[in-house]
Chains A and B, each alone.
Chain A
Amino acid sequence: MTGAVEETDFVLVLVRDLARAQEFYGGTLGLERSPSSGDRWVEYETGNLTLSLTQPETIGQEFQPAPGIALRVADVDEARQRLEEAGVQFPAGTIDSGVCYMAPSADPDGNGLILHRRYAPRNRGAA
């Protein structure tokens, strides 16, 4: 299958309450809502990836949280503080992994979100 996969078109994020999720992703996180969004399937753009939010019953599924979407921010501590002011919890605080800073959290449904900033140089050959 080498070469067949071109891109990731979207990642599905199941939410129990679409209105509440829109307030979080659009308002609290400040992501751009895509005009492709409908009543029951709402898309947010993150720059490189579309997050598609829907309630599980819309697609005949049970709720299952996503483990971790890592959002790049300029300053993890600053972003974390802003979200804490908005009531978002960060039980592990900010972690220094040795190559990056990470602050794990979650959306109102428990879908994992990680504020992320790599500081170590990348050692990959390509850009």
Chain B
Amino acid sequence: MADGIGAERVDFLTVPVRDLARAEAFYGQTLGLERNPNSSERWIEYETGNLTLALVQPEAFGMEFQPLPFGAVALRVPDVEAARAKLREAGVEFRGETFDSGVCNGAMFDDSEGNGLLLHRRYAPFADGRQP
């Protein structure tokens, strides 16, 4: 990257929470993500493979809680319908039906705090011909 600031990667995405313990149970158990040992009491990290989600309580830092918009974080799963069924069994509510965008399947849901997440699987090849 010749211009700009030479950003190397995204180190984490801040995920605002209201109740840290409740969010930990959701990300750790319901979604089954790996908790990063770098986590501290007020900053809890979950790994998604390529991206670290940092659960933070904005109200503890004197800031307003504002959830991520619908479908903000697209989590790749092998099979959207199967993952959706498992999450529904665990009590997770989905927004609408599983959709087909023409290039991918997706199912929108909220985490325990109201942040928008998306189960996602691309099926169409990419613009450069790569298979998903």
Contacts and interface: CB of A to CB of B under 8 A. Distances in A.
A49 B37 CA distance: 22
Given A64-B67, A82-B5, A6 B10 contact: no
A64 B7 contact: no
Question: Is the interface on chain B under 10, 10 to 19, 20 to 34, or 35 or more residues?
Answer: 35 or more
B75 A5 contact: yes
Which secondary structure characterizes the binding site on chain B? loop
A30 B13 contact: no
A64 B8 contact: no
Contacts of B10: 11, 46-49, 51, 69-72
A35 B127 contact: yes
Nearest to B72: A12
Contacts of B83: 1, 4
Contact of A7 (B8, B9, B49, B126): B49
Interface string B4-27: 111111111111100000000000
A5 B32 contact: yes
Interface of A: 1-12, 14, 27-32, 34-36, 46-49, 51-52, 56, 59, 61-62, 64-74, 79, 82-83, 99, 112, 114-116, 118, 122-125
